[in-house]
Amino acid sequence: MDNPDTRFDQMLSRLRLRGFRLTPQRIAVLRILSASEGHPGAEDIYTQVKNEFPTTSLATVYKTITLLKELNEVLELGFSEGGNRYDGKNPFPHPHLICVKCKKVIDADLESLGDLTEELTQDTGFEILSHRLDFFGICPDCKGEGK
Amino acid sequence: MDNPDTRFDQMLSRLRLRGFRLTPQRIAVLRILSASEGHPGAEDIYTQVKNEFPTTSLATVYKTITLLKELNEVLELGFSEGGNRYDGKNPFPHPHLICVKCKKVIDADLESLGDLTEELTQDTGFEILSHRLDFFGICPDCKGEGK
DNA sequence: CTTCATGCAAAACATTTGCAGCTGG
DNA sequence: CCAGCTGCAAATGTTTTGCATGAAG
């Protein structure tokens, strides 16, 4: 409907620039990460890639994700249960709303975080490099259904 | 030096009140969690408990932690790498400063979080139940040493 | 062509679970 | 006494790794 997938092109050209090979499997992972709204997990990505390239292995998905993390082209949301989730559209730290029922992950930008960071730097002497902010709750959809 | 360990007594009596058995191993885990400043991991707790009760198993440590989580007497900080960490002194969600070099975890209260929560509730329709806020950086100690 | 990526299977971890035997209340 | 806890070992789930084969550039 709107303009071409700029984020996908961006990721592609950055890999090419650094001399990484653009294999079909890799490209498929890039496309999924650059396009998906839903913060997919490794298994989700694997399932989708297999639709296009049935021989793809889960290990290759992980290897591609690892590569993209090193290049700062994907944000990893680590969880101790249920596997990690990935954001390829906006690979910089930003707040998330996570539904504890359906496990949906939604972006939620809050400008005021920068202020907190400066405040903490001054109060504690920490050199703050990054952050992670998640809110857990029940999304409108899940509040509607059932109990 | 100061008054008796109120938090430890609190945890003890809450377990007793609900009819859970106070075994030596369990009590040792409670004491460590109620007293430690450093947000220990399961393995750390296990090591410390074994000093007092050498036959203790790691499984028992995990089982005790699981019990305390269910009773909301400990806060679990889940990480995808390096194992989870636990806060028994303040089991309610609060911000942490995490040193990426020495893995130290320091508490960092910020009042303004409540405002953000309300703002998000209104903007998104999410019913927010909990949150997690961590800042990653380099602590003053680690900035001093080496590079 | 040569190097790098893939795919398989096995390894690595943190955590959980099943179960026989022990023990706190 | 006996329900609930412990300790062992095996299972689990996710992510990583080693290595031979295969394909990108």
Cβ contact A13 with chain D strand, < 7 A: no
Residues of chain B with C-beta less than 8 angstroms from the C-beta of A138:
126-127, 129
- Separation between Cα atoms, residue A2 and residue A10, nearest integer Å: 17
Q: State the pLDDT at residue A82.
A: 86
Which nucleotide's C1' atom has the smallest distance to the CA of B64? D5
**Protein-to-nucleotide distance from the CA of B22 to the C1' of C24, whole angstroms:** 8
Q: Which of A79, A108, A126 has its CB closest to that of B138?
A: A126
pLDDT, residue B116, reads 87
Nucleotides on chain D that have an atom closer than 7 A to a protein CB are 4-10, 13-18, 23-25
Beta bridge partners of B105: B98
* Residue A137 beta carbon within 7 A of nucleic strand D: no
Q: What is the pLDDT of residues B25-83, one digit of tens each?
A: 999 999 999 998 889 999 999 999 999 999 999 999 999 999 999 999 999 999 998 89
| Dihedral of alpha carbons B143, B144, B145, B147, sign | positive
Amino acid symbol at A114: G
What are A9-51's pLDDT values in tens digits?
999 999 999 999 999 999 999 999 999 888 999 999 999 999 9
Q: For position A5, what pLDDT does the model report?
A: 63
Structure confidence at residue A2 (pLDDT):
54
Q: Choose the weakest-confidence range: A47-56, A100-109, A110-119, A129-138.
A: A110-119
- What average pLDDT score do residues B89-110 get? 93
- Identify the band that residue A3 occupies on the pLDDT scale cut at 50, 70 and 90: low
CA distance A54 to chain B (A): 28
Nearest by Cα to B90 from B10, B28, B1, B4: B10
Q: Hey, what are A103's tokens? A: 């496990």
Mean pLDDT across A63-79: 97
CA distance B83 to A50: 31
- Report residue B1's pLDDT band, with 50, 70 and 90 as the boundaries: low
**Can you give the pTM of this predicted structure?**
0.91
Query: Please, what are the domains in chain A?
Result: 4-87 (1.10.10.10), 96-145 (3.30.1490.190)
Per the CB < 8 A criterion, the answer to whether A136 and A98 are in contact is yes
Residue of B nearest to A135 (CA): B131
Chain A contacts of B79, Cβ < 8 Å? 78, 80
Mean pLDDT across A77-100: 94
Q: Which of residues 11-50 of B touch strand D (CB under 7 A)?
A: 20-21, 23, 25-26
Residue A126: count of CB within 10 angstroms of its CB: 24
Average pLDDT, chain B: 92
Rounded to an integer, what distance in angstroms lies between the CA atom of residue B38 and that of residue A67? 33
**Residue A125, min C-alpha distance to chain B (Å):** 6
pLDDT at B145 over 80: no
Q: Which of the four pLDDT bands, split at 50, 70 and 90, describes residue B5? A: low
Quickly give B65 CA vs D9 C1' distance in Å: 20
CB contact under 8 A, B97 and A124: yes
Whether residues A78 and B76 touch (CB distance < 8 A) is answered with no
